[in-house]
Amino acid sequence: MVTNGKREITYGDAGVEALGEEMRRDPSIVYIGQGIGPRGGNFRQTKGLWAEFGDHRLRDTAITELGETGMAIGAAMAGNRAIVDNVFLDFSLEAMTQIVQQAANAHFLSNGELKVPLMVRGSMGSVRNAGVQHSHTFYAWFAHIPGLKVVVPATPYDVKGLMKTALRDDCPVIFIEHKALYNIKGNVPAEEYLIPFGKANICRAGTTATLVAVGRMVHVALDAARILDQEGISLEVLDPRTIAPLDREGIAASIRKTTRVAVVEEAHASCGFSGEVFSVACEDCFDSLDAPPKRICARPAPNAFSPKLENRILPDVERVVTEIRDWMNS
């Protein structure tokens, strides 16, 4: 679709486009995972690719996260560029020993002789009240591990540009998409582009305070910012895009400009990404702060199956507006 001279496609289709372009460009790329063959994936995240590349490039596996991830790591070590699709980020836990003990460490343990050009793909977050076992957002766990890069795109433009970068990286990359975003549309240029890791995006410029938001919460933060702008509260919304590497300087520059920072994320606050942003604020911008940093995160409870309870646990626009308004007036 072309709107106002710009080509718009969905978040999901942006990923399919990136995969197709990179697999045509580089015949060493192989894709391993559940339901990614003729069916095209649970979220249509590989639609049409099996018909074009066949089962020698797309290996449709059983439900075996540990096995498929080990297979992909071996393929990457042997000279391929490998993608493993765990479908739901929640079930990458079944493969954590492969990801953390093997993929993240192989380059170091081999004194640089082995590379692991691997993309571990999974979907995160709450959508349609899927319950606790299908709604986790633990991207911060992976960012804690040296040797792993962690990508969390919020827009179709970022999905395509960041995925193409991930597929050309010689290090293991955890590529995490939010399930609730697969059908949103956005501008994605037809021409070739890549987005570098470690470069945050200022989604909305502002002067009163900085909102750092991740994944779906970028859209919640933008909606809240538009409401509060009518009250004279000008919020700058910053999307880090990658959690590891983290654009500390980009975050710090925004905080120095606005003198306040809040973090909006669907993950829990305890020992999480919001604390890392606070460390940037306190270590790099302490003299610029006009107020203590604030975080608006999921409440400390398992993600409920009940819609009413889930809505109570997760940040929404109303809660962000209320808490930022109170924070500004305190």
Domain parsing of the chain, residue ranges: 2-187, 201-329
Question: How is residue 110 written in tokens?
Answer: 């081999």
Q: Among residues 64, 27, 58, 56, which one has the least CA distance to residue 40?
A: 58
Full DSSP string of 30-48: EEEEET-STT--TTSTTTT
Helix, strand, coil proportions of the chain in percent (round to 5)?
40, 20, 35
pLDDT given for residue 232 in this prediction: 96
**Residue 172 gets which letter from DSSP?**
-
In the predicted structure, residue 250 carries a pLDDT above the cut 80: yes
pLDDT-derived band at 173 (thresholds 50, 70, 90) equals very high
Question: How is residue 293 written in tokens?
Answer: 């940093």
- Tokens 């049409």 belong to 48
pLDDT-derived band at 211 (thresholds 50, 70, 90) equals very high
Mean pLDDT throughout 76-105?
96
Are the folds of 2-187 and 201-329 the same? yes
Question: How is residue 220 written in tokens?
Answer: 């919640």
pLDDT given for residue 150 in this prediction: 98
Catalytic residue among 22, 107, 134, 177: 134
Domain 2-187 falls under CATH 3.30.390.50: no
State how far the alpha carbon of 25 is from the alpha carbons of 18, 22, 33, in Å: 11, 5, 21
- Domain spanning 201-329: which CATH class is it, in words? alpha beta
Q: Among residues 154, 151, 178, 183, which one has the least CA distance to residue 164?
A: 151
- Helix axis angle, 317-329 relative to 217-229, nearest 10°? 50
pLDDT given for residue 128 in this prediction: 78
Catalytic residue among 65, 68, 265, 310: 65
pLDDT given for residue 3 in this prediction: 64
Q: Answer yes or no: 134 catalytic.
A: yes
Q: Which helix (H) or strand (E) holds 221?
A: helix 217-229
Question: What global pTM score does this model have?
Answer: 0.95
Share above pLDDT 90 across residues of the chain, in percent, rounded to a whole number? 88
Q: Rounded mean pLDDT of the chain? A: 95
pLDDT given for residue 62 in this prediction: 92
pLDDT-derived band at 251 (thresholds 50, 70, 90) equals very high
In the predicted structure, residue 131 carries a pLDDT above the cut 90: no
